Amino acid sequence: MAHLFTIHKSTPDYVKIQKKTQELDIVVEISTKFDPDLRPDTTSCFLDHMVDTLAWGACLSIGVKVDCGKWRSTHTICEDVAITIGAGLKKIFYEKLEKEGVNIIGTGYACLDESLSRAVVGVEGRRNAFIHVSDDCTGARAENVEDLHSADMIAFVEGFFQGFPATCQLDLIHGRDPHHVWETAFHAIGEALRDCMAPNPWRIGKNNPYYGEEGIADASLV
C-alpha cells in the first residue's frame, strides 16, 4: 500500500515526517519541547515567518526543510508544507488524547497593531477551514503579501486542517496591512491549537463518545 507520508521517528513529544512527490520533498519535525534548532526553511521568507508564528502561538518547535523539483509553485509549497505539518501534529495530538486526554476544542485571538484575528478549532476527525473576512479587514483582500500571494495563505490554512484533521473557523476581523493580518491569523490559529492540546483528563480517548477508531486511524500514517 502506497503511503502519502513517511514517519522517520515518533515519540509522545516529537515526530519527524516526510512527504515526497515529484514536485516537492518536504521534511517536517515537530516537538512539544522548546528546540531553537527546529526552524523553517521553506524557500519563502514570509512562509518561514508564518510557520514560526504558528509555532510560537501553539508553543511548539517546528522545523521544515523543502527541496523543490524543476517547477517551483508557491501555492503548492504552502499547501503541502501545511498538510505535512498538520499530519505530524495529528500524530502527537492523538497520542496525548489516548494517554492523558486533551481539550479537543480551542479558541485563540491575536492582535498586531491595527490587525485582529480570531480562530476556533475543533478536532473531530473532520477536515474543514472556513475563513471569514470582515469589511474592516481590507488587508486580507490584497493580492500579495510579501513574497507570496494571499491565496497561498488561504491554501496553507486549508491544507493544514486537511492534514491535522480538524475544523477551523478563522475570522479576520480588522487590519489594513496584509502582513499584519496574516501574522495575527497564524498566531490566533496557533493559540487555538495550544488550547486544543491542553490536558483534560475528562476527555481522554476511552471516554470519548464521538470518535471511535475512525477519528484516529489514517492509512497514510501507518
Q: Are 175 and 116 in contact (CB under 8 A)?
A: yes
CA dist list (Å): 87 to 5, 27, 92, 94, 191: 8, 12, 9, 11, 18
Nearest Cα to Cα of residue 74 among 110, 115, 24, 131: 24
Res 210: pLDDT: 64
Res 218: pLDDT: 53
Res 37: pLDDT: 96
Res 71: pLDDT: 82
CA distance 122 to 169: 9
Give 70: exposed, middle or buried? Use CB within 10 Å, 0-12, 13-18, 19+.
Answer: exposed
CA dist list (Å): 143 to 17, 30, 51, 76, 138: 32, 31, 20, 17, 11
Q: Which domains does the chain have, with CATH numbers?
A: 6-216 (3.30.230.40)
Grid cell 497520542 is found at 95
Res 182: pLDDT: 98
Res 217: pLDDT: 47
Nearest Cα to Cα of residue 128 among 165, 102, 153, 101: 165
Res 183: pLDDT: 98
The tens place of each residue's pLDDT in the chain, 222 residues long, gives 457 899 999 999 999 999 998 889 999 999 999 999 999 999 999 999 999 999 999 999 999 999 998 888 999 999 999 999 999 999 999 999 999 999 999 999 999 999 999 999 999 878 999 999 999 999 999 999 999 999 999 999 999 999 998 999 999 999 999 999 999 999 999 999 999 999 999 999 888 776 655 444 454 454
Q: φ, ψ for residue 104 (rounded to 5)?
A: 80, -40
Helix pair 178-196, 150-163: axis angle to 10 deg = 10
Give 7: exposed, middle or buried? Use CB within 10 Å, 0-12, 13-18, 19+.
Answer: middle
Nearest Cα to Cα of residue 57 among 192, 200, 153, 198: 192
CA 100, 203, 84, 51 dihedral sign is: negative
Cis peptide before 165 (omega within 30 of 0): yes
